[in-house]
Structure 1
């Protein structure tokens, strides 16, 4: 009986949380939430994807040259900040970035995929969460890392 009540309470809380997560995508959400800004996103050279974007290629507005530059080896002086479980961030937010609790301010950094040795230079943005709360990563960065977009890969985070 008690287990049933606990299970029902967990289901109610889970559904309530989903309602909050889906709020920006509702038809009645404020226009500022639904429409992407014109021009490059702050801190990036990439324009946001078109509103009609539905494929990975349409959402990823980076060029082959930008992806190659992001994957280029980094200079010395970076510090390993730790490991994190990563998930796909907002695919409409262009550029190479990661939102993580490992930083308190925006800094340049790098992510490394230990599964294949690939790495990508990113802008590390504070997520407001704890250092172990996971990291949201941009679509272009996950593509350079060759990490599956629908899984939760473990990544190593380095700060500049």
Structure 2
């Protein structure tokens, strides 16, 4: 019984020595050839094995056409909404003015922030088929804004995109998805 046990122990010892030799060779090859694929790699953070591939060094190449403007260097990661709002005080007062009458209610829609770089008071909504003047109302607080209604493809209940200044006039947080009423005229 001890003879088979010794043979098994000897085979295991040889396998262990062979594994040590392979690990040493892989480490030597990695030092000799930077960027060469390693036989075994583990993520130092998790200790999990990593897919075999080349060891990458340096920085990633730049995408053609993408540039980093000097104005973005050292600037805070997020600008305040006021900095993005390019409307004047008189434009905001005019948009917040009471309706003159003759409006037609188009429906209620869920509003989300549209492209903040697009200036003015506008709503892209599936509730209209052609561009027209209108007004939106926040039923939660009664605030309203005169806007340009712009057609947006999709179902009538699909939601609308609202300009930054219009959302601010409605007293809505830019991250909320409020239900707003839309009027044409």
Alignment TM-score, normalising by the size of structure 2: 0.58
Indicate which of 98, 105, 114 corresponds to 2:130: 105
Aligned residue runs from structure 1 range 25-104, under 5 A: 28=63, 54-104=79-129
CA 1:147–1:128: 2 relative to 1, 3 Å: same
CA 1:61–1:130: 2 relative to 1, 3 Å: same
Structure-2 separation of matches of 1:55 and 1:106:
30
Structure-1 separation of matches of 2:92 and 2:126:
25
Deviation at 1:118, TM superposition (A): 0.2
Structure-2 separation of matches of 1:76 and 1:109:
11
Task: List alignment gaps of at least 5 residues for structure 2.
Answer: 1-61
Task: List alignment gaps of at least 5 residues for structure 1.
Answer: 1-26, 35-49
1:136 aligned residue = 161
CA 1:127–1:72: 2 relative to 1, 3 Å: same
Which has the higher Rg, Structure 1 or Structure 2? 2
Structure-1 separation of matches of 2:165 and 2:64:
27
2:45 aligned residue = none
Give secondary structure in 2 for the equivalent of 1:67. Answer: helix
1:159 aligned residue = 184
Aligned pairs, how many? 117
Deviation at 1:54, TM superposition (A): 2.3
